Amino acid sequence: MRKQIIAANWKMNKDVNETSEFIYAFQNEMKGVVTAAEVVICPPFIALDTAFELLQGSPFKLGAQNLHFEEDGAFTGEISARMLKSLGAHYVIVGHSERRQYFGETDEIVAKKVKKALSADLKVILCVGESLAERDGGVTEKVLERQVKAALAGLTEQQLASLVIAYEPIWAIGTGRNATPQQAQDAHAFIRKTVAGMLGEHASAALTIQYGGSVKPENAVELLSQPDVDGALVGGASLKADSFAKIVKSSPKEIPTAH
């Protein structure tokens, strides 16, 4: 059985007050809703504390958007895994394409962050995905394979159980242009095959693979019904409580049996 996870990645949006407003509104939207999906909300660092307090007693989990790979020390402006843990974070997003693109995160850095987060008992949402030039150049699979292999190198099957992969084609992020359900399915199946080659069929069959990139209420049902799409990482459409709730409600109620 594979867990479905719908996560909100707010990026650099919402201050503390806006975070509170969202959480009240979202909990209202979700009253009485039965879903098999795990819901994760990833506000900016400054709102983690407030979000944690407001989410107490709810089934919704808290996630952060980034961490540093060192334990602690002279790294001005950075946040460690232990700090995130102390704020009640359950998940952390690692290797988002914006971090790779604008903040110079290499596969090597991403791998270090994955290990650090897991060692601190944080669950990881690892982002991978190709650029438009890479897709047009026919190297999508090559890029995905490189990113997955680098980030998962040396992990055990047990560690993999605390990791989620988000397939996020860069050309679909924030552009309004989502991957087609078939494009998503193909990439997810390829990622699953790559993980199977590293850690075995059993581990890869249980791995949650989210799709991210212009997910919205209008396309969520179709994307989420693909056999290898086990949830969504949502940016823009997660900023409004009603649209994020609609996406959560789009996830299939029954968890498909892993195949």
Which residues lie near ligand PGA (CB under 6 A)? 9, 168, 173-174, 212-215, 233-237
Is 222 a known active-site residue?
no
Q: Taking the complex as a whole, how short is the minimal distance between the CB of residue 213 and ligand PGA, in angstroms?
A: 5
Q: Taking the complex as a whole, how short is the minimal distance between the CB of residue 11 and ligand PGA, in angstroms?
A: 7
| d(C-alpha 163, C-alpha 185), whole Å | 19
| d(C-alpha 253, C-alpha 259), whole Å | 18
Residue 92 near residue 64 (C-beta atoms within 8 A): yes
Q: Taking the complex as a whole, how short is the minimal distance between the CB of residue 171 and ligand PGA, in angstroms?
A: 10
Would you say 233 or 245 has its CB closer to ligand PGA? Answer: 233
| d(C-alpha 156, C-alpha 203), whole Å | 10
φ and ψ at residue 154, rounded to 5 degrees: 85, 0
Would you say 9 or 140 has its CB closer to ligand PGA? Answer: 9
Closest residue to ligand PGA, based on beta-carbon distance: 235
- 38, 96, 105, 134: the catalytic one is 96
- 98, 105, 168, 188: the catalytic one is 168
Q: Taking the complex as a whole, how short is the minimal distance between the CB of residue 178 and ligand PGA, in angstroms?
A: 8
Would you say 14 or 199 has its CB closer to ligand PGA? Answer: 14
Q: Taking the complex as a whole, how short is the minimal distance between the CB of residue 212 and ligand PGA, in angstroms?
A: 4
Q: Taking the complex as a whole, how short is the minimal distance between the CB of residue 62 and ligand PGA, in angstroms?
A: 17
Would you say 39 or 199 has its CB closer to ligand PGA? Answer: 39
Is 96 a known active-site residue?
yes
> In this structure, what token pair is assigned to residue 31?
């009253």
- Secondary structure in 3-state letters for the chain: CCCCEEEEECCCCCCHHHHHHHHHHHHHHCCCCCCCCEEEEECCHHHHHHHHHHHCCCCCEEEECCCCCCCCCCCCCCCCHHHHHHCCCCEEEECCHHHHHHCCCCHHHHHHHHHHHHHCCCEEEEEECCCHHHHHCCCHHHHHHHHHHHHHCCCCHHHHCCEEEEECCHHHCCCCCCCCHHHHHHHHHHHHHHHHHHHCHHHHHCCCEEEECCCCHHHHHHHHCCCCCCEEEECHHHCCHHHHHHHHHHCCCCCCCCC
Would you say 39 or 203 has its CB closer to ligand PGA? Answer: 39
Would you say 2 or 216 has its CB closer to ligand PGA? Answer: 216
**Residues carrying an active site annotation:** 96, 168
